[in-house]
Amino acid sequence: MVLKNIAILGSTGSIGCSTLAVIRHNPTLYQAYVLTGGKNVTKMVEQCLEFKPKYVAMADGDAAKLVRQYLREHNLDIDVLSGEQAICDLAQLPEVEQVMASIVGAAGLRSTLAAIEKGKRILLANKESLVTCGHLFMQAVKKHHAELLPVDSEHNAIFQSLPTAVQHNLGFASLAEHGISKIVLTGSGGPFRDTEIAQLKHVTPEQAVAHPNWSMGRKISVDSATMMNKGLEYIEARWLFNASQDEMEIIVHPQSIIHSMVRYIDGSVIAELGHPDMCTPIAYAMSYPLRIHAGVPPLDFMQLSSLTFKQPDFNRYPCLKLAIDAYQSGQAATTSLNAANEVAVAAFLNRQIGFMDIAVMVESVLNQLTLAEPTSIDDVFEIDRWARELSTKLLS
């Protein structure tokens, strides 16, 4: 059996660590050939000692120096590079077959596109790349014959529930022609789904990052609490599955056992169920169309008390509505929404603004948007920069 080489962009993060956990379960199938991180030196050195990649890159130059120094002390022969361009170069190496795109935020865009340009299999966790420039992104996938496998658990569940013909023409196949009536996105509603709306302005970062079901990075945990995460996933789903507004449905499902569903015109609903553990969608994306062990225990139906569902309330989750509306406006709006949200979430985590101010800030940035639709990635970064600057100004 030949080992498949994987580049994990953002290996020190939550998704990166889960990807390495799946590799740990399948050491005869996969090799962590490239690991990249931002500035977490300790985690990267730990990962290098265990997985012995061929190349490492750190976005931060000082962090790269430290990693290099530690690895030398451990007599490990691993090339350590630094900077965004190095991450892009490593994603394009001919020996790399699969690229896990798990850098958080718009920072993951260039490296993911670099991997697409080389026609790699992209295991897509970085939802921001579809949110900011879905059209350009999907066109690039098509042009370079890259293979896109969604890792975000909802999109992975939907992918698993789609006919093979749609899976093989992702983003371009017509859902209606394949008998599909709706894509049903489920979301837990986050830790505040039962909190009185009037109390939401008082919630703390600690309460917001304590997600009831999933263990995730801090930014995405706050996004789950505001349901901006579902809004970003709505945008992601529309690009990934070529879905119209009428073909989308969002349901709050507090137990996170059903990870999303597909409705067919004959009344059938196909869903993917499992424990809320990212190792499952990651393993599926890595092994598709085969299956491998993910280290996730089997779902015990006898232990499930009940599965419940309700409509999302836009008064509780204004960010969700802002995201849905932004998709209708276009990519300048979705890019601005994403950038303003990143600034607002960071400010909330820093205790500069309250929880409900996140939506207020995103909305006021969107209200001031006059920039034209992007026609290139540089345009996308220009809009991103504009929205970040305005958000930062609004903060002060």
- In whole angstroms, the minimum distance from the beta carbon of 240 to ligand NAD comes to 13
Q: Is 18 annotated as a binding residue?
A: no
CB 325 within 8 A of CB 337: no
- In whole angstroms, the minimum distance from the beta carbon of 63 to ligand NAD comes to 9
In sign, the C-alpha dihedral spanning 27, 28, 30, 34 is positive
State yes or no: residue 12 binds ligand NAD (CB under 6 A).
yes
CB 391 within 8 A of CB 366: no
**How distant, in Å, are the alpha carbons of 166, 242, 304 from that of 177?**
10, 12, 36
Near Mg ion in 125-164, by CB under 5 A = 152-154
DSSP 354-368: -TTHHHHHHHHHHHT
Closer of 214 and 288 to ligand NAD (Cβ): 214
Structure tokens of 32? Answer: 């962590």
Q: Is 330 annotated as a binding residue?
A: no
Closer of 104 and 383 to ligand NAD (Cβ): 104
State yes or no: residue 236 binds Mg ion (CB under 5 A).
no
* Interaction pattern, residues 341-370, with ligand NAD; x per rule: CB under 6 A: ------------------------------
State yes or no: residue 223 binds Mg ion (CB under 5 A).
no
State yes or no: residue 83 binds ligand NAD (CB under 6 A).
no
Cα–Cα dist 276/190, whole Å: 13
C-alpha closest to that of 99 among 279, 292, 285, 235:
285
- At residue 23's C-alpha, the angle toward residues 223 and 209, to 5°, is 20
Closer of 38 and 205 to ligand NAD (Cβ): 38
User: From Mg ion, ligand NAD, none, which one binds at residue 214 (CB under 5 to 8 Å depending on kind)?
Assistant: ligand NAD
User: From Mg ion, ligand NAD, none, which one binds at residue 82 (CB under 5 to 8 Å depending on kind)?
Assistant: none
Closer of 5 and 14 to ligand NAD (Cβ): 14
Pure H helices in 242-375: 279-287, 318-329, 331-349, 357-367
Rule CB under 5 A: which residues touch Mg ion?
Answer: 152-154
Q: Please enumerate, by residue number, every residue annotated as part of a binding site for NADPH.
A: 12-15, 38-40, 126, 128, 217
